[in-house]
């Protein structure tokens, strides 16, 4: 794909040049890690990646979409899905690791994004889509517990995933990420009892 | 208390004039209901109540504190504590009524306040204090279930209260307040199973 926008656009599929897409993501990740939410903008990413703003908008409809893409990639690399072999271990690990992941600058970025989504329509759309996708992804943890015969077949994996992550959100949004081992244990215990056979 | 601030201040206790305190709260509630978060400011409340800004700040350290005071009063009057006689009924009623309460303009105000708390230190303090107080208050619902012999003595009422309200927060913050009866049923079922004997 040309980096200028004077040529006629091809379809998004055809136009997706891996190098340029990767360059934009790499620039976005650098800016995310260096400057957090306040310094993150489509303009800054375009400058750093030497890409045109329209090129970025062709792939990511808003700053929030691009930021959540970077956030998801960081999360996948730093916080692997728990697979301890037990539901209790997986839930405790999920909550503990998420709180740890957020204790870096990612927590600040994520809470700022949730905040922006309360006022900005595109950010709200991006957050809702991200949240639904992640809830489905994390439901796999509960489906594995069902497959092991550990979790009740009639307990809803999506609802469990949504409830568990909601708890982490509230810790983040009320500045209670520190020293949460005790309360995470108590919440884990309620969830496990609520889900096991 | 004098409405001017030229007289020497008495202690806050002595200075708390019920009329003026009530007038400020009444004005704040009117502005809250008429104009929502965007129109709510200490200046606007002072004008409406014909009170001095320093008088307001003597009782409420920030706009967020005053707004949460109004919010709490509205919530207490519109959403009584559930007391259905069963834990399942109480949890379902709490979540259903909270979602309904937020479907008015209060939901918009509350999500804006949560958003502001992610960037503003005083709003964060006010929200954290409010959240802790409400979590303790709602824990009473679970303590009543323990007193009835319905809930396990070793399940933590504060953690249960925190987890339940966290779920409601996530629905609010991801624009999923509508048509939640089915998911509320599923979450209620997990929580009940997690807490009962």
Q: Which of A87-91, B14-18, B80-84 has the lowest mean pLDDT?
A: B14-18
Position A15 confidence tier, pLDDT thresholds 50, 70, 90: low
Task: Report the residue from A152, A156, A170 with minimal CB separation from B166.
Answer: A170
| Distances from the Cα of A127 to the Cα of A31, A71, A183, B149, B184, angstroms | 20, 12, 26, 41, 21
Task: Report the residue from A111, A169, A187 with minimal CB separation from B169.
Answer: A169
Structure confidence at residue A14 (pLDDT): 47
Kindly report, residue by residue over B158-172, the tens digit of the pLDDT. Answer: 999 999 999 999 999
CA atoms A169, A173, A177, A180: torsion sign: negative
Query: What one-character-per-residue DSSP string does A14-45 give?
Result: HH--HHHHHHHHHHHHHHHHHHTTTT--HHHH
- State the Cα–Cα distance between residues A6 and A167, nearest whole angstrom: 48
Mean pLDDT of B103-122: 95
Structure confidence at residue B9 (pLDDT): 45
Structure confidence at residue B104 (pLDDT): 87
Q: Are A48 and A31 in contact (CB under 8 A)?
A: yes
Task: Report the residue from B116, B119, B160 with minimal CB separation from A190.
Answer: B160
Structure confidence at residue A19 (pLDDT): 76
CA atoms B55, B59, B61, B64: torsion sign: negative
Burial of B59 (0-12, 13-18, 19+ CB in 10 A): middle
Q: What is the mean pLDDT of chain B?
A: 91
Position A104 confidence tier, pLDDT thresholds 50, 70, 90: confident
B contacts of A190 (beta carbons < 8 Å)? 155-156, 159-160, 163, 191, 194-195
Structure confidence at residue A34 (pLDDT): 95
Percent of chain B having pLDDT more than 70?
91
Q: Is the pLDDT of residue B32 over 80?
A: yes
- State the Cα–Cα distance between residues A115 and A132, nearest whole angstrom: 18
Kindly report, residue by residue over B175-184, the tens digit of the pLDDT. Answer: 999 988 999 9
Using a CB–CB cut-off of 8 Å, the residues of A that contact B are 111-112, 114-119, 124, 127-128, 131, 152, 155-156, 158-160, 162-163, 165-167, 169-170, 173-176, 183, 186-187, 189-195
- State the Cα–Cα distance between residues B174 and A89, nearest whole angstrom: 28
Q: Which residue has the tokens 């998004």?
A: A12
Question: What is the CB neighbour count within 10 angstroms for residue B69?
Answer: 18
DSSP 3-state assignment of A7?
Answer: coil
Structure confidence at residue B5 (pLDDT): 44
Structure confidence at residue A16 (pLDDT): 61
Structure confidence at residue B159 (pLDDT): 97
Q: How far is CA A98 from the centre of its chain?
A: 10
Burial of B128 (0-12, 13-18, 19+ CB in 10 A): middle
Mean pLDDT of A106-128: 96
- State the Cα–Cα distance between residues B11 and A90, nearest whole angstrom: 54
What token pair was written down for B119?
């960037």
ipTM for the predicted complex: 0.89
Q: Are B70 and B32 in contact (CB under 8 A)?
A: yes
Q: In whole angstroms, how large is the CA radius of gyration of chain B? A: 19
- Mutation target vs A (from B118, B142, B192, B196; most A CBs, 10 A cutoff): B118
Question: What is the CB neighbour count within 10 angstroms for residue A33?
Answer: 14
Using a CB–CB cut-off of 8 Å, the residues of B that contact A are 111-112, 114-119, 124, 127-128, 131, 152, 155-156, 158-160, 162-163, 165-167, 169-170, 173-176, 183, 186-187, 189-195
Of A17, A3, A25, the residue nearest A77 (C-alpha): A25
Position B6 confidence tier, pLDDT thresholds 50, 70, 90: very low
Domains of chain B, start order:
12-59 (1.10.10.60), 68-195 (1.10.357.10)
Give first-to-last CA distance, chain A, whole Å: 55
Percent of chain A having pLDDT more than 90?
88
Structure confidence at residue B26 (pLDDT): 96
Q: Is the pLDDT of residue B118 over 50?
A: yes
Structure confidence at residue B1 (pLDDT): 40
Kindly report, residue by residue over A35-90, the tens digit of the pLDDT. Answer: 999 999 999 999 999 999 999 999 999 999 999 999 999 999 999 999 999 999 99
Q: Are A173 and B113 in contact (CB under 8 A)?
A: no
Q: Is the pLDDT of residue A123 over 70?
A: yes
Q: Are A140 and A158 in contact (CB under 8 A)?
A: no
């Amino acid at each position: 794909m040309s980096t200028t926008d004077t040529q006629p656009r091809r379809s998004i599929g055809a136009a997706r040049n891996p190098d340029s897409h990767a360059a934009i993501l790499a620039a976005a990740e650098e800016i995310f890690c260096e400057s957090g939410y306040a310094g993150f903008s489509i303009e800054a990413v375009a400058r750093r990646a030497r890409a045109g703003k329209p090129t970025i908008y062709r792939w990511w409809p808003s700053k929030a979409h691009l930021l959540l893409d970077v956030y998801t990639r960081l999360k996948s690399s730093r916080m692997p899905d728990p697979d301890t072999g037990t539901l209790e271990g997986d839930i405790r690990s999920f909550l503990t690791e998420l709180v740890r992941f957020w204790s870096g600058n990612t927590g600040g970025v994520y809470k700022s994004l949730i905040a922006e989504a309360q006022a900005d329509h595109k950010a709200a759309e991006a957050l809702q889509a991200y949240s639904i996708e992640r809830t489905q992804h994390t439901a796999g943890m509960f489906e594995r517990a069902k497959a092991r015969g550990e979790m009740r077949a009639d307990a809803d994996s999506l609802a469990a995933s949504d409830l568990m992550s909601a708890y982490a959100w509230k810790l983040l949004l009320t500045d209670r990420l520190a020293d949460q081992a005790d309360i995470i244990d108590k919440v884990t215990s309620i969830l496990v009892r609520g889900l096991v056979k």
